[in-house]
Chain A
């Protein structure tokens, strides 16, 4: 059990209008400058989460355009050229703008609170990491206004479609990804420094919450692979603007090399988007089952194994590019291996529920849906690992179904679970129970209606990234589009719930959920701007 500390009461949120503020030597700036210059982990966490929410709607809007065009066969609303820009920007914005910043935002808020640190280890760097992102995404979105339009070659940017044949705006896309990449690397360094140096006295690594553990491992993944992304897009930049031929066979290069480099980044990247989700779910399920997490140590080892394996499986995205047989076999076996630690995680979650005392508050609902729906995505992942079968699945909607199952009812549901879980800590109020449940059920129904028929469309032979399709795919696409509109609209409800929660609602005590064991539940709700200015008296929870 966690230590039962009296709340470390500290300074309250400063009131902008409070008198005497000017007299204080370190009075924080007000208005816009407060947010521009803040070095406080909670404020920066909030900024990340707001940016993420904004980008979630921008990327979602692109998805709605795609689904509207695909509602029926034929070209009704947009031209193929613009359709390709929509799919590309949907992927880029959702990955780099919505999912990744959401996890960084949650880390900013919760890692210091869970390890008992007063702030992130490098607060000014923290500010810089965040403010790179609005610049990056403004630049990325501005490509819509450029001649030839936005990038249209898919988020995977396969050369030479993304180099020799790309629109002129590609150079801006590269710069924007560089900025987002720098932001990620700096954020990761900060998280590692915080976790390794600022833990409360007496907190060993194996005492940390699973959310902190998964983020520690994720941060190492980020540091390892973001430079590879930077390298490969710089090679694109050189091919486009400086006459090199890295990916151009006519000049001695090789388009397959692009894919090797890209997926050496890209596969760990997908785990960057799921490991913190594992962490969130591993914190929420024990809270609402009122029982310690089953197999804490094996959870940590499984996460680490998944991270290590993620460097050895990249070419399973490339089974059809003409790899030698030995390479196909190696990458098939290594990919199948990932099912083992992933399975361990799912078994642990289920066993945590077993003989618990379970309640179904909104964070728990999202976490439970995560376990089931992520597992469905895991199953299709296992099927995709079988290389001969992948020759049929590859580049079809079956793949689209797979990665949306692990990313939407997977990563996004985990983020929402985390938001519902920690909203009482952030705002001091519980989210509206009825509306939260509506949001949950509409999201679950919408997501499954959207993504389940994609399995069938893919198996029946529908390729990805097409604006128009043969008639046998029409029914699947219509259901998918209706589901997507439902899912998209349901997310407006999420905004309503969050806004209502910020403005008021049922008051939450310091320990907002009776089963919560981590240190954040020892500080008042809402958490004051400064917490743990003196280290908490930490006693290890029972793992």
Chain B
């Protein structure tokens, strides 16, 4: 009886969840802002209600029997043990229900797989533990890192509203445009998931997967990596900012000039202080999650940089490691992630922070030359 009561409560609780209350309350799948996410939501609710109805019938018969045919009520057992018509019926009826369910599911799936006639393409690359976005043919690309400060994670300061769901640079997309999403990975399998867009797609190292999205409403949509990808799997958020097509076009221009500005200075000699200052920022966003803010690393997967004499004695190896990464390890090739100024600055920082103080500067121009080869 207690279970029956609980079921009634559960059923009515979830029935509420089906209504408008739950649509935004965070108890149910979000309806989302694309036609497909809304179709998916519809399928989800249909199959859910089918389950609820079957559940009421089956559990109803179950608890009725438990109550009515207790021995303590003097029930005498019957001996019947088969009934062919009933058995055929309860094989065929569920089969029919399933066929009815399969029809709309097939239609939605076909629509999800139709990546043709896109207005634009974005290449999404998963890396341990950040996302890289490249607007194909637009000469705009950047990485998107977790923006939640370490102190919030460690509980030393209050957690913000978008704790773990905020990034330093969101993916900006235009509304009402069909965007083809090409997905791959530099290391292990990740999965790019934004519930309100109805898109979840694994990124496979060495292969490119396709998906697409057409966003109906401007807004900020948040998600995160869905496939276990190693230590910081939980710290790989996705933020999509959907804007009007006009706003998107001007954003592309702004982004291009900002990138050009950030990469400026290849022709001049950089001083120690400016390299160190910039290097510290770059280190904090791109390196500290593995090698730790104090450079102590977490061996054996992530070697220490502080006090790593072998590395300090071999500047060439240091530059090579940062630029081209280490094959078969989590160390990414930062030539694809950072501009030459940032690479030079961060190497300079690593060679002069935490008491190593080699006094060496690595010039952006030298890195640019190396990348040109």
Known: A386-B105, A543-B81. A470 touches B226 (CB 8 A): no
B47 at the interface (CB under 8 A from A): yes
Any chain A CB within 8 A of the CB of B71? yes
A23 to chain B, nearest CB (A): 52
Q: Is B33 an interface residue (CB 8 A)?
A: no
Complex CA distance for A394 and B189, rounded to whole angstroms: 14
Contact between A350 and B153, CB atoms less than 8 A apart = no
Give per-residue flags for B152-184: 1 if the beta carbon is below 8 A from chain A beta carbons, else 0. Answer: 111100010111110000000000000000000
Residues of B near A31 (CB, < 8 A) are none
Given contacts A75-B154, A465-B233, contact A372 B72 (CB under 8 A): no
CB distance from B131 to the nearest CB of A (A): 15
A329 touches B228 (CB 8 A): no
Per a CB cutoff under 8 Å, which of A343, A357, A452 touches B76? Answer: A357
Identify the closest chain B residue to A148 (Cβ).
B300
CB proximity to A under 8 Å, residues B206-226: 206-207, 209-210, 222-226
Contact A320 B47 (CB under 8 A): no
B44 on the A face (CB < 8 A): yes
Chain B residue numbers with a CB within 8 Å of A147 are: 300
1/0 contact string of B80-107 vs chain A (CB within 8 Å): 1110001100110011001001100110
A170 to B230, CA, bound (A): 14
Identify 8 new A-B residue pairs, CB closer than 8 A, beyond the known A84-B230, A387-B109, A395-B227.
Answer: A75-B153, A158-B189, A164-B328, A290-B71, A353-B66, A357-B70, A394-B226, A468-B234
Residues of A within 8 A of B86 (CB): 351
How many residues on the A side are at the interface (Cβ–Cβ under 8 A)? 98
Report if B19 contacts A (CB, 8 A). Answer: no
Instruction: Check A379–B228 contact: CB distance below 8 A.
Output: no
- Residue pair A389, B44 in contact (C-beta under 8 Å): yes
Cβ-based interface call for B301 (8 A): yes
Within 8 A of B (CB), among A392-407: 392, 394-396
Interface residues of A in 118-162 (CB under 8 A from B): 147-148, 152-154, 158, 160-161
Task: Indicate if the CB atoms of A298 and B113 lie closer than 8 Å.
Answer: no
- Whether B76 lies near A328 (C-beta < 8 A) is no
In the complex, the number of residue pairs spanning A and B with C-beta atoms less than 8 Å apart equals: 288
Interface, chain A (partner B; CB < 8 A): 73-76, 79-81, 84, 147-148, 152-154, 158, 160-161, 164-165, 167-168, 248-250, 254-256, 289-298, 320-322, 325, 328-329, 332-333, 336-337, 339-340, 343-344, 346-347, 350-351, 353-359, 368-369, 371-372, 375-376, 379, 382-383, 386-389, 391-392, 394-396, 444, 448, 452, 456, 459-461, 463-472, 542-543
Quick check: A358 and B65 within 8 Å, CB to CB? yes
The docked-state distance in angstroms from the alpha carbon of A464 to that of B224 is 11
With an 8 A cutoff between CB atoms, is B232 at the interface? yes
Report whether B80 and A355 are in contact in the complex, using a CB–CB cutoff of 8 Å: yes
Given A322-B202, A389-B40: A459 and B75 within 8 A (CB)?
A: no
Whole-angstrom distance between the alpha carbons of A343 and B30 in the complex? 30
Q: Which residues of B contact A357 (CB under 8 A)?
A: 69-71, 75-77
Which B residues are in CB contact (< 8 Å) with A294?
A: 80-82
CB neighbours (8 Å) of B350 from chain A are none
With an 8 Å Cβ cutoff, the count of chain B residues facing the other chain is 102
The 14 sampled A-B contact pairs (Cβ below 8 Å) are A73-B159, A160-B188, A161-B188, A254-B206, A291-B78, A298-B82, A339-B98, A358-B69, A375-B55, A383-B44, A383-B51, A386-B101, A391-B200, A472-B26
Q: How far, in Å, is A95 (CB) from chain B's closest CB?
A: 17
- Complex interface: chain A residues within 8 A of B354 (CB): none
Residues of A near B113 (CB, < 8 A) are 325, 328
A468 touches B81 (CB 8 A): no
- CB contacts under 8 Å to A, within B298-332, are 298, 300-301, 327-330
| A358 CA / B105 CA spacing, docked (Å) | 42
Contacts of A355 in B (CB 8 A): 65, 69, 75, 77-78, 80
- Chain A residues near B59: list those with CB within 8 A: 372, 375
**A75-B154, A383-B51, A468-B234 known; A165 and B43 CB under 8 Å?**
no
Q: Are A471 and B230 in contact (CB under 8 A)?
A: no
Q: State whether B163 touches A73 (Cβ < 8 A).
A: yes
Are A466 and B233 in contact, with the CB atoms below 8 A? yes
Are A297 and B82 CB-contacts (below 8 A) given A344-B90, A387-B105? yes
Verify B225–A463 contact, CB threshold 8 A.
Answer: yes
Indicate if the CB atoms of B153 and A74 lie closer than 8 Å: yes
Rounded to whole Å, the gap between the CB of A240 and the closest CB of chain B is 10
The answer on a CB contact under 8 Å between B94 and A340 is: yes
**Residues of the A chain whose Cβ atoms lie less than 8 Å from the Cβ of B125:** none
Given contacts A147-B300, A148-B301, is CB(A392)–CB(B44) below 8 Å?
yes
Cα-based distance from A542 to B77 in the complex (angstroms)? 14
B69 lies within 8 A of A168 (CB): no
Does B229 count as interface, using CB distance less than 8 angstroms?
A: yes
| Cβ–Cβ < 8 Å partners of A371 in chain B | 62
| A347:B227 contact, CB within 8 angstroms | no
The reply to whether B44 and A291 form a contact with Cβ atoms under 8 Å apart is no
Tell me whether A368 and B66 are in contact in the complex, defined as CB-CB below 8 angstroms, given that A392-B29, A452-B10, A459-B29 are known contacts: yes
- A354: contacting residue among B69, B108, B155, CB under 8 A: B69
CA distance A354 to B65 in the complex (A): 5
The stretch among B190-198, B274-282, B362-370 that forms the contact with chain A is: B190-198
Which of A291, A322, A359, A382 contacts B207, CB < 8 Å? A322
